[in-house]
Amino acid sequence: MTRKVDLRRFTGFQAITWACLFMLYAPLIVVMVYSFNDSNSITIWGGLSLRWYGDVFWGPEAEKFKVAALNSIVIAVSAAVVSTAIATSAATALLRAGRFRGKSLSFVLVNMPLMVPEIVTAVASLIFFSAIGFTAGYLTILVAHIVFCIPFAYLPIAARMQSIEDVYEHAAQDLYASKWQAFRLILLPLMAPGIISGFLLAFIISLDDFIITNFVKGAGIETLPTAIFGSVKQGIKPNIMAISTLLLLVSVLFVTLSWLVGRKGQKQ
């Protein structure tokens, strides 16, 4: 019969999306391909090999990267846990606690880490930490990460909380649940998908951070980004490509998992 009039379709949008994907993936694919390059130099193709993957685990820099990866994960998990908790509490205050003094200011505050350019945060934190004698180390990184992860955790959590009508909690209260029980037994489970994506976002943001970490980190403490930066600025080495490829695979695994979790959450 006749062609279907689809008001959702715009000519060219699909092409742009594909182009967009191409631009996003081209560099990564190049990295993946070259990680299998059997050559000391990235500029010369020396045939297929897994030697750089061996190098990642047993090469001279392996120890450094292992420690850095561990640091990154420990910091990212802790920062994500704490910032998710703070963000959940803040979202409850801002969306569920009616009016109170300083509410709009609080709103600005929660989003502030997002608004202050990263370099300013980095420099300001460094100076402040040394001014108050808060010695650079693990803790400084952790604290700084918690701060800038809060708005990222807050966004999906608040979005989710906003979409949950408070009538469920009222119903719980009507059925003899205290406020805390209503929160724990009703609101929290309903929020789970938002909290999970807030956590993941915070985790990834923390795992990714370079500028602030580089400024506030203590002597000799490396996270993955600072370690990679230290080793890569002089020029990309094939072992870095191998590390990146591994990270990409881990990420894909992780995203896939979180996606499956999210989908399960959505079904309910």
Partner 1 sequence: MAGGGISSGGKGSDMYEGLGPRLILPAWAIIGFFLVLPVGLMLIYSFLTKEFRGGVIWEFSLAAYDQFFFDRGLFGDEPPKIEWTYINIFWRSIWQAALATVFCLFIGFPTAWFIATRSGSNRQIWLFLITIPYWVNLLIRTISMKFLIRDNGPLNEFLLWTGLVDSPLHIINTNFAVQLGLFYSYLPFMVLPIYASVERYNFAFSEAAADLYASKWVTLRLIILPIVKPGIIAGCILVFVPSLGAFLAPDLLGGAKNFMIGSLIEEQFKGNAGNWPFGAAISMILLSMVMVVLTLYARAQSKEEASR
Partner 2 sequence: MTSETPIAVDIQDATKKYGSFTALRDVSLRIRDNEFFTLLGPSGCGKTTLLRTIAGFETLTEGAIKLFGEDIADLPPNKRPVNTVFQQYALFPHMDVTRNVMFGLQMLGQSEPEARKRAGEVLELVQLSAFADRLPSQMSGGQQQRVALARALAPNPKVLLLDEPLSALDLKLRQAVRLELQQIQQETGITFIFVTHDQEEALTMSDRIAVIAGGQVQQVGSTRDIYEEPNNKFVADFIGETNLLDVTVTDLGAGQATCILPGGGTFTCPAADGSHEGAGHLSVRPERMAIVPVDGAVLSGVVTRRIYLGTDMHVEVTLDDSEVMTVRVQNSADTHIPERGDRVGLGMEAAAARLLVD
Partner 3 sequence: EGKLSVYHWFEYIPQEVLDKFAAEHGVEVTMDTYDSNEAMLASLKAGKLGSYDVAVPGDYMVEIMAGEGMLDTFEHTELSNFGNIQPQWADVSFDPGRKSSIPYQWGSTGFSVNRDAYSGDINTTSIIFDPPAELKGKINVLDSQGEVLALASMHLGIPQCTTDREQLKALNALLQGVKGDWASFGSDIAKDVLVSGDASAGMIYNGFSAKARSEGANIEYAFPKEGFVVWMDNVVLLKDAPNRDNAIKFMNFLLEPENIAAITNYAQYTAGIEGVDQFLTDEVKTAPELNPPSDQPGQFVMACDQAVQEVYDTIWTNLKK
List residues binding partner 3 (CB under 8 A).
Answer: 40-44, 60-61, 64, 126-127, 129-131, 135-137, 218-222, 230, 233-236
Q: Is 31 in the site for partner 1 (CB under 8 A)?
A: yes
Residues 188-217 that bind partner 2 (CB under 8 A): 189-190
CB 71, min distance to partner 1, A: 14
Residues 138-167 that bind partner 1 (CB under 8 A): 143-144, 146-147, 150-152, 154-156, 158-159, 162, 166
Q: Is 28 in the site for partner 1 (CB under 8 A)?
A: yes
Single out the residue of 69, 80, 87, 191 in contact with partner 1 (rule: CB under 8 A).
Answer: 87
The partner in contact with residue 1, picked from partner 2, partner 1, partner 3, none with C-beta cut-offs of 5 to 8 angstroms by kind, is partner 2
CB 15, min distance to partner 2, A: 22
Single out the residue of 3, 4, 8, 267 in contact with partner 1 (rule: CB under 8 A).
Answer: 8
Using H for helix, E for strand and C for coil, what is the string for the chain?
CCCCCCCCCCCCHHHHHHHHHHHHHHHHHHHHHHCCECCCCCCCCCCECCHHHHHHHHCCCHHHHHHHHHHHHHHHHHHHHHHHHHHHHHHHHHHHCCCCCCHHHHHHHHHHHHHCCHHHHHHHHHHHHHHCCCCCCHHHHHHHHHHHHHHHHHHHHHHHHHHCCCHHHHHHHHCCCCHHHHHHHHHHHHHHHHHHHHHHHHHHHHHHCCHHHHHHCCCCCCCHHHHHHHHHCCCCCHHHHHHHHHHHHHHHHHHHHHHHHHHHHHHC
The partner in contact with residue 44, picked from partner 1, partner 2, partner 3, none with C-beta cut-offs of 5 to 8 angstroms by kind, is partner 3
The partner in contact with residue 21, picked from partner 3, partner 1, partner 2, none with C-beta cut-offs of 5 to 8 angstroms by kind, is partner 1
Distance between CA atoms of residues 176 and 186, nearest Å: 13
The partner in contact with residue 68, picked from partner 1, partner 3, partner 2, none with C-beta cut-offs of 5 to 8 angstroms by kind, is none
CB 236, min distance to partner 3, A: 8
**Of 71, 229, 85, whose CA–CA distance to 149 is shortest?**
85
Q: Is 30 in the site for partner 2 (CB under 8 A)?
A: no
Residues 174-193 that bind partner 2 (CB under 8 A): 174-178, 181, 185-186, 189-190
Pick the stretch among 54-62, 63-71, 178-186 that binds partner 1 (CB under 8 A): 178-186
Q: Is 264 in the site for partner 1 (CB under 8 A)?
A: no
Distance between CA atoms of residues 268 and 160, nearest Å: 14
Q: Is 40 in the site for partner 1 (CB under 8 A)?
A: no
Helix 224-232 / helix 188-208 crossing angle, nearest 10 deg: 20
Alpha-carbon 15 to chain mean position: 29
Q: Which is nearer to partner 2, 10 or 176 (CB)?
A: 176
CB 210, min distance to partner 3, A: 14
